[in-house]
Amino acid sequence: MSSIARIIAEDAVAMEQLRAVRALCLPDWCIAAGFVRNRVWDHLHGIVPARPPVDIDVLYYDATDLSKETEQAFEARLEGLLPAPWQVRNQARMHLWKELPQHRDTADAMTCWLETVTAVGVRLETDDTLSVVAPLGTDDLLGLRCRPTAYGRTRRAEYDARVAAKRWSALWPKVRFLD
């Protein structure tokens, strides 16, 4: 089991949230972004229990249904299973507002996020094992390094504004911010 999977597996709240999402049987799904990043960085900073994320980013990929209404229906179903700040997004439609070619799958869509440490997700498999989805790797996340992705470098002002607005340097002082 990877160290990221171990950190998530030891968090009872995270596991309950993963079980709720697994119950939806979404195609090519994971929970990513702050759900993983915050828990890993809290763990590496000795913050116990981990602070709850502002929202829970549930990703899936379904090129046959690009409607926002379907995402909202999944959010409502999750809210009925387990009240939480769910944010469900079909990665098959994320290319539209970014003006990019359609992504191939969830992992491909994550490569077009602004920073590498956010492009890490976890999925609870039917056999209760955790799979880590990390198309850009996990070295930055585990090494307490934050840097823009190749896509983020093309949108440097957005990346810088996001890092500042999220206050990551104040919340996790050991993190190094690199170009």
Q: Does domain 3-177 have CATH number 3.30.460.10?
A: yes
Per-residue pLDDT at 95:
81
Rounded distance between C-alpha atoms, residue 37 and residue 132, angstroms: 12
Cα distances (Å, whole numbers) of residue 133 to 15, 46, 69, 159? 16, 24, 26, 22
Per-residue pLDDT at 172:
98
Give the residue from 141, 140, 177, 142 showing the smallest Cα distance to 162. Answer: 177
* C-alpha Rg value of the chain to the nearest Å: 16
Rounded distance between C-alpha atoms, residue 27 and residue 105, angstroms: 10
Element (H, E) at 161: helix 156-166
| Burial group, residue 129, by CB count within 10 angstroms (0-12, 13-18, 19+) | exposed
Decide if pLDDT at 13 tops 80.
yes
The better pLDDT of the pair 27, 99 is held by 27
Whether 140 and 12 have beta carbons less than 8 Å apart is answered as no
The model's pLDDT over 87-131, given as tens digits with 9 standing for 90+, comes to 999 999 988 777 788 899 999 999 999 999 999 999 999 999 999
The C-alpha angle 147, 61, 65, rounded to 5 degrees, equals: 135
Per-residue pLDDT at 179:
81
The model's pLDDT over 37-86, given as tens digits with 9 standing for 90+, comes to 999 999 999 999 999 889 999 999 999 999 999 999 999 999 999 999 99
Quick check: pTM over 0.85? yes
**Which two three-digit tokens encode residue 52?**
């709850």
The DSSP output letter for 89 is E
Would you place residue 16 in the very low, low, confident or very high pLDDT band (cuts 50, 70, 90)? very high
Per-residue pLDDT at 77:
98
Per-residue pLDDT at 150:
96
